[in-house]
Amino acid sequence: MSYTVLARKYRPQAFEAMTGQEHVVRTIENAIKLDRVAHAYLFAGPRGVGKTTAARLLARALNCENGPTSTPCGTCKACTEIRDGTSTDVAEIDGASNNGVENVREIRENAKYLPQGSRFKIYIIDEVHMLSQAAFNALLKTLEEPPGHVKFIFATTEAHKLPDTILSRCQRHNFRRISAAAMLKRLQEICVLEKVNVSGSSLSLIVRQSEGGMRDALSLLDQVIAACGLSPTDADVAEALGAIDRTLIHAFAVALVKRDAKSLLTNVEEIWNRGLDLRRLAEDLAFHLRHVFVAKATGQAPDELADSDRDAVLALARESDAAQVARLFDIVHAAVWEIARAPQPKLALEMALLKGLHLAPAASLPDLIARVEKLSGGAAGAQGGRSSSANFRA
């Protein structure tokens, strides 16, 4: 049997199976229940977050033999044909390659005729922003007053490129990037179903690289399994993704907080020898410091971290000082740009990290004040106090 990529294999087959687009799903389910389905929908949002999936589910919901229903059966002729892309009444059109006025004229002609076996004739136009101006104009009239048996569902990653005339004739739904926590949960479920053993820490690396797109996340998981098999170690996964193992990133953060210059330099050397991308290291480290800062500010490790990473981040947050972490973040974040431009990236990174050791205050402000007070109290007289606080300022 041929291998199906995870993104296709795990395309949600019911509205309730969609991760993270509850606001859209709820509105559509309600519209179906109340029999108030609009004649034209626009699904807008970043790539791989469920627009096409939702369009197909809506098509099924409308044409299911037991429908219209927000829970299409998935087994009737209409449902299975839509799933397989063979329904004569549901046309999935790629707007990028069918963007001419003649393509829209064809739709217009075709839309006049009643559906062959189903309730509605449904036109799903993907990447609809690619239509030409003339094509949009040709679409306007039909979109304004389509025959009762016609529904349009448009999907786009670039809604801002659509003319206002089109926008105002559609009911628009904005799809969101999927939250890290929701995506992590979904990936964990899929790993169980696929019987692969990828640690939470590695999965959260995939989540971060996919930037909220579920398709990207699943493609990365495919890539990891292809490269490392069913039980990869964290280092394997990091390598397969061209990333740096989180344990090592954490080691950098710890060394910065604890002012351990030696360990910083050894670790830079190691990364350099392994041929890993130093800019990437700085980016990952900036992210990691951000997590520590969030943990410090909220008392909780950020949701997007795997359980195994949370404890380490929380522990470091407890040991560090907020002002110090904030300044370390600034330095490392700025280093990302410096490294990208530097003729000697390694030098730029090392210097940035070493600066991080010296710039950040040695202790928290309350600590310093306490020490100043102690000194001024203990050193008999105002003068000693003044000179020691002057030392701290220097």
Ligand X SMILES: Nc1ncnc2c1ncn2[C@@H]1O[C@H](COP(=O)(O)OP(=O)(O)OP(=O)(O)O)[C@@H](O)[C@H]1O
Spacing of C-alpha 57 from chain mean position: 22
Based on DSSP, count helices (H) and strands (E) in the chain, helices before strands. 19, 5
Told to check if 157 binds ligand X by CB under 6 A, we report yes
Q: Please work out the total of residues on this chain that contact ligand X, with binding judged by CB under 6 A.
A: 23
Restricting to residues 44-103, name those near ligand X by CB under 6 A. 47-53
**CB-CB neighbours of 136 under 10 Å:** 19
Rank residues 44 and 289 by Cβ distance to Mg ion and give the closer one: 44
7, 14, 73, 323: which one contacts Zn ion (CB under 5 A)?
A: 73
Told to check if 32 binds Zn ion by CB under 5 A, we report no
CA distance 288 to 286: 5
Site residues, Mg ion (CB under 5 A)? 51-52
Q: Which helix (H) or strand (E) holds 41?
A: strand 40-44
CA distance 209 to 130: 27
- Whether the CB-CB separation of 228 and 198 falls below 8 Å is answered with no
Q: For the residues of 74-128, what is the DSSP string, one character each?
A: S-SHHHHHHHHT--TTEEEEETTTS-SHHHHHHHHHHHTSPPSSSS-EEEEEETG
Told to check if 215 binds ligand X by CB under 6 A, we report yes
Q: Which does 214 bind (CB under 5 to 8 A by kind): Mg ion, ligand X, Zn ion, none?
A: ligand X
- Whether the CB-CB separation of 140 and 165 falls below 8 Å is answered with yes
11, 121, 169, 310: which one contacts ligand X (CB under 6 A)?
A: 11
Q: Give the sign of the dihedral formed by CA 26, CA 35, CA 37, CA 169.
A: negative
Q: Which does 8 bind (CB under 5 to 8 A by kind): ligand X, Zn ion, Mg ion, none?
A: ligand X
Told to check if 8 binds ligand X by CB under 6 A, we report yes
Q: Which does 179 bind (CB under 5 to 8 A by kind): ligand X, Mg ion, Zn ion, none?
A: none
- Whether the CB-CB separation of 91 and 124 falls below 8 Å is answered with yes
| The two structure tokens encoding residue 155 | 């999907």
- Whether the CB-CB separation of 326 and 332 falls below 8 Å is answered with no
- 216-255 footprint of ligand X as x/- string (CB under 6 A): --x-------------------------------------
44, 58, 79, 251: which one contacts Zn ion (CB under 5 A)?
A: 79
Q: Which residues pair with 156 in a beta bridge?
A: 44
Told to check if 155 binds ligand X by CB under 6 A, we report yes
Told to check if 18 binds ligand X by CB under 6 A, we report yes
Task: State the minimum distance, in angstroms, from the CB of residue 69 to Zn ion.
Answer: 8
Told to check if 173 binds ligand X by CB under 6 A, we report no
Segment near Zn ion (CB under 5 A); pick from 70-78, 230-238, 291-299, 300-308: 70-78
Q: Which helix (H) or strand (E) holds 332?
A: helix 322-341
Task: State the minimum distance, in angstroms, from the CB of residue 63 to ligand X.
Answer: 18
Q: Please work out the total of residues on this chain that contact Zn ion, with binding judged by CB under 5 A.
A: 5
Task: State the minimum distance, in angstroms, from the CB of residue 42 to ligand X.
Answer: 13
CA distance 89 to 64: 12
Q: Which amino acid is at 384?
A: G
In order of 11, 16, 26, 83, the CA distances from 23 in angstroms are 19, 12, 5, 23
Rank residues 43 and 136 by Cβ distance to ligand X and give the closer one: 43
Task: State the minimum distance, in angstroms, from the CB of residue 191 to ligand X.
Answer: 14
Segment near ligand X (CB under 6 A); pick from 17-25, 70-78, 267-275, 358-366: 17-25
Task: State the minimum distance, in angstroms, from the CB of residue 122 to ligand X.
Answer: 16
Q: Which does 76 bind (CB under 5 to 8 A by kind): Zn ion, ligand X, Mg ion, none?
A: Zn ion
Binding residues (CB under 5 A) for Zn ion: these are 64, 72-73, 76, 79
